[in-house]
Amino acid sequence: MTDLMLRIAGEEVYLLAERALWWPNASTLVVADLHWGKASTFRAVGIPIPIGTTSDDLARLDSALTRTGARRMVVLGDLFHAKAGRVASHTLAELRRWRSLAAPVEILLVRGNHDRHSGDPPSDLRINCVNAPAFVPPFVFRHEPADRGDGYGLAGHVHPGITLMGRGLQRETLPCFVIGPLGALIPAFGSFTGLGLVEPGPGDRAFVVVEGEVLEVSLPVDLGPNAYPAELHEVSHAESRGSGLDHGVEH
């Protein structure tokens, strides 16, 4: 794993290849959009999705927690995908096992749109829940990005992804961090989540996560003739469109 250190809002942070942000001064690991139980929600309605996504996500979470030794973890919303009651016992059992074995970390969930529908996690998972925004100066933790001038915002929700052009007409879309002057976007942590293409603005820096490495992308990226403008995320619902754009995302 190759991580990347940078300084935002006067604080030293690390962008981790696990798709998490590490804030050593507060011993806090920041993740977004885990969408726990998404695969089992699909299976429950008769859409066959193989198992393995949850285990993989938990292993990756363990890796980030172990490597950093974080005492606290902040989830920027969308911890559970759908109504807790519908999350299958199979998945819940796995989560309980993980919670009992994993590092004794304090978990704070800043509720997102999915959490409002699915309700708070069962108490034995020992997860504190608050509504956005949560202030931990100099940062403001929220689910949906917003610029309220109330601090440096860290947000999820958009599952940021960026399309890079390769040789010939090859293109690949990768999850990314977007670090702006006033706030940052954290990639979605869950492996069964799509990507929403973002178009970093002036002053933004973008870092893609690829094969265990975090790499800065030189901006502006030429998104090519078929790219989505960022402001249309609200309309890009799940099943996506045409060639090269198969990265539907659901927020």
Partner 1 sequence: MTDAEDVSHKPKRRGSALAVDLRRARAAQRRAERAAGAAAALPSRAEPSPTIVCDDRDPIDCVREWFASEGWEPFEFQEEVWRAYLAGESGLIHAATGTGKTYAAWIGPVLEWMQDYPAAQRSSRAARSLGHAPPLRVLWVTPLRALAADTEAALRAPIQDLGLPWTVESRTGDTAPRVRARQSRRLPTALITTPESLSLLLTWADTPSLFENLDLVVVDEWHELMSSKRGVQTELALARLRRWRPNLRTWGLSATLGNLETARDTLLGMTAQGFERAGRIIRGLVPKALTVDSLIPETMERFPWSGQIGLRLLPEVIAAIEEGRTSLVFTNTRATAELWFQALLSARPDWAGVIALHHGSLDRDTREWVEDGIRDGRLRCVVCTSTLDLGVDFTPVDRVLQVGSPKAVGRLIQRAGRSGHQPGAVSRLTCVPTNALELVDVAAARDALGRSAIESRPPVERPLDLLAQHAVTVAVGGGFRPAELRDEVRTTRAYRDLSDGEWNWVMDFITRGGSALGAYPEYNKVVERDGLYVARDRMVAMRHRMSIGTIVSEAAMKVRFVRGRTIGTVEENFIARLRSGDVFTFAGRTLKFVRVRDMTAWVRSSNETTSVVPHWTGARLALSPELAAAVRGKLDQARQGVFEGPEMEAVRPILELQARWSTVPAADELLIERVQTREGHHLFFYPIEGRLVHEGLAALFAYRLAQLGPITFTLAANDYGFELLSPEGVRLEEALEDGLVSPDHLLHDIPASLNAAELARRQFREIARVAGLIFQGYPGNNKSVKQVQASSGLLYDVFARYDPENLLLFQAHREVLEKQLERSRLGRTLERLAAGRITIKAVERPTPLAFALLVDRAREQVSSERFLDRVRRLVAPLERAAGNGNARIARGGGRGFR
50 counts as binding partner 1 under rule CB under 8 A:
yes
**Among residue numbers 81 through 100, which ones bind partner 1 (CB under 8 A)?**
81-82, 88, 90
The set of long-range contacts for 211-217, using a CB threshold of 8 Å and a minimum separation of 24, is 212/1, 212/2, 212/17, 213/1, 213/2, 213/17, 214/2, 214/3, 214/4, 214/15, 214/16, 214/17, 214/177, 215/4, 216/4, 217/162, 217/164, 217/176
Nearer to partner 1, 90 or 126 (CB): 90
Stretch that binds partner 1, among 4-12, 136-144, 163-171, 200-208 (CB under 8 A): 163-171
Residue 69 structure tokens = 């030794």
Stretch that binds partner 1, among 40-48, 62-70, 200-208, 210-218 (CB under 8 A): 40-48
Binding mask 109-148 for partner 1 (x = CB under 8 A): -----x--x-------------------------------
42 counts as binding partner 1 under rule CB under 8 A:
yes
Q: Do the Cβ atoms of 123 and 112 come closer than 8 Å? A: no
Rounded distance, CA 68 to CA 76, Å? 18
228 counts as binding partner 1 under rule CB under 8 A:
yes
The set of long-range contacts for 149-152, using a CB threshold of 8 Å and a minimum separation of 24, is 149/182, 151/9, 152/8, 152/9, 152/182, 152/183, 152/184
Nearer to partner 1, 77 or 194 (CB): 194
218 counts as binding partner 1 under rule CB under 8 A:
no
Nearer to partner 1, 86 or 205 (CB): 86
Residues making contact with partner 1 (CB under 8 A): 39-53, 81-82, 88, 90, 114, 117, 167-170, 191-194, 222, 224-226, 228-229, 232, 234-243, 245-250
